[in-house]
Amino acid sequence: MTPPQSSDSRKAATTPPAVQSSDGRATAPELLRLTGIVKTFPGVRALDGVDLDIEEGKVHCLAGQNGAGKSTLIKVLAGVHKPDAGEIVWRGEPISFASPQAAMKAGIATIYQELDLVEDLTVADNIFLGHEQSAGGFVQRLRTRRDAAAVLARLGHTEIPVTRPVRRLPAAAKQIVSMARALSREARLLIMDEPSAVLAHDEVANLFRIIRELTAQGIAVLYISHRLDEIRQIGDRVTVLRDGRTSAVNLPATTTPTRELVNRMTGRNIEYVFPPQRDYRPSGEPLLQVNGLGRAGEFTDISLQVHRGEIVGIAGLVGSGRSELLETIYGARRPNAGSVTMSGRTLRGSVGSAVRAGIGMAPEERKSQALLLGEAVYRNVTLATFGRFSHAGFTDAGAERTEAGRIARSLHLVPADVRRQVRTLSGGNQQKVVVGRWLLGDTKLLLLDEPTRGVDVGARAELYGVIRKLADDGVGVLLVSSEVPEVLGLADRVLVMREGRLIHEAPAADLDETTVLDLVMSGSLLEGPGALDALNVIPEVSADHDATDHDATEHDAPQDRGHTPDHDAPDQPEAAQTGAARTDNAKGDAE
């Protein structure tokens, strides 16, 4: 991407030459400086004097808990919100962005954590949405497709069809399209909010490659992530927010200890705070029994059990079929083969049947699949148990608020006002609402798909405690997570999934992170004679895998990376009975 070279841009490029910083390092020219930024919403002071400076060609990381003000700060930079006080200096000149279009025209492109793609438009149309390739008032389709393919090639994802509707792409591919849209503009600053949240390990490595190429061209990146190891790998400097204020500015990304970063964010000193390990031993009949479950193009011959009070974790790459498996168990997707039995009763493959049997689910895409963004927090919490609060055709809103308030307090929801619209909450607090919904009902089995995606280290510990308490109370838990330490730290038993098959099962205490990563990524532990036997791979799966999957590994690579082949995509999950609404993915007004 070539930086913009218009006369206006050249005029604006008045930043001073590089100087020496106080720590002796040579700094690049300053691109952006924020001083004393304040933003207030009714009842919430989201930003309270935030400072930030970003240099050209550098990766500046922004860290902080959910509710610290990161999303609001991003929207100030993107022109969505106007600050109530403070100064923004862009390329040496004070500036105020009247709209998101003004910020984009100035050279600031934003990739939000919750993707803002138009589902029914094609990949190419989404990439150039708002700056269509046109001539004489007509969109040039061939040029749009050609240029979109070029942007995707630059991202290393030529396998994504530019003519495919975005609705038919999995979450990881949608993330890539959102990145491509930002890169299609002549940006000088790229804001990336949790860009790796839905990416597999190889996707993250590719993302970092792209970021390094951009910074080599002088483009700056503001990288927001809760994953502190990523901050060390890709960042140059780190600014930390806490309660709407700047807790630390320009910390060295590679040398600042994890303890210090976490302490700046939360007041605690460790990144993962798991409940103490327990010696769980299943007894009695399984709560959940899955036998030979299969769905064409997604997974095949899946058999597993979950007992009462047991936490079973599924580890696997994005695109391995793990999310689709959970949705099929929940009845949101119909299987082509196999059966799901709950408490001895075979389910008939619908969400209503699963919910009546005591199954609850927190899906991966909370905004589009789990929340009514325009409704109050209490209505979202009581959605799955609404019948308890209705009598003779009337709802008892007071009882709803009372029960939802109890759940909000137990989950430390911030803000705790259950009358607020759920869209105004930060990502981590929205996730608490989704989990809290199932704390009201008679839930026997909880399915969790990426339960801490986009959740800060403080809220993670609280969610971990909630999950363990549910298990201690006899609720079975089946969870999927991209973070291997999370699976190992929470689960009693771990299943490893690759290419739509379960290839390994073991107690969590018998596994380590390296072994699991090698398994899910087809690494060295799966190579060589006798390796599979040594790892105790499930026999019936390993035999089929060795005999038939070698060719599929090479020819179906797009699926491994989280993309869908060129045939029609499978049915989308039923949203209505999960408490989901296909509403607009509006971003929270205050984090």
Quick check: 570 pLDDT over 50? no
Report d(CA 46, CA 30) in Å as an integer: 26
Instruction: List domains and CATH numbers for the chain.
Output: 118-176 (no CATH), 286-358+443-456+470-562 (3.40.50.300), 368-441 (no CATH)
Q: Looking at per-residue confidence, does 540 or 126 come out higher?
A: 126
Q: Give, in degrees to the nearest 5, the angle at Cα 166 between 163 and 168.
A: 95
Question: Tens digit of pLDDT for each residue in 513-530?
Answer: 878 877 875 433 333 333
Q: How confident is the model at residue 336, as a pLDDT?
A: 94
507: which strand partners? 493
Quick check: 536 pLDDT over 60? no
**Does pTM top 0.75 for this prediction?**
no
Quick check: 560 pLDDT over 60? no
Question: Tens digit of pLDDT for each residue in 474-505?
Answer: 999 999 987 888 899 999 999 999 889 999 99
Question: Tens digit of pLDDT for each residue in 264-275?
Answer: 876 655 556 788
DSSP 18-38: P-B-TTSPBPPPEEEEEEEEE
Report d(CA 589, CA 591) in Å as an integer: 7
Quick check: 454 pLDDT over 80? no
Report d(CA 95, CA 93) in Å as an integer: 6
Quick check: 564 pLDDT over 50? no
Least confident of 113-117, 290-294, 334-338, 372-376: 113-117
26 in Cβ contact with 20 (< 8 Å)? yes
Element (DSSP H or E) covering residue 167:
none
The rounded percent of the chain whose pLDDT value lies above 70 is 81
User: Could you say which DSSP state residue 270 is in?
Assistant: -
DSSP 63-81: EE-TTSSHHHHHHHHTTSS
Tokens of 224: 């927001």
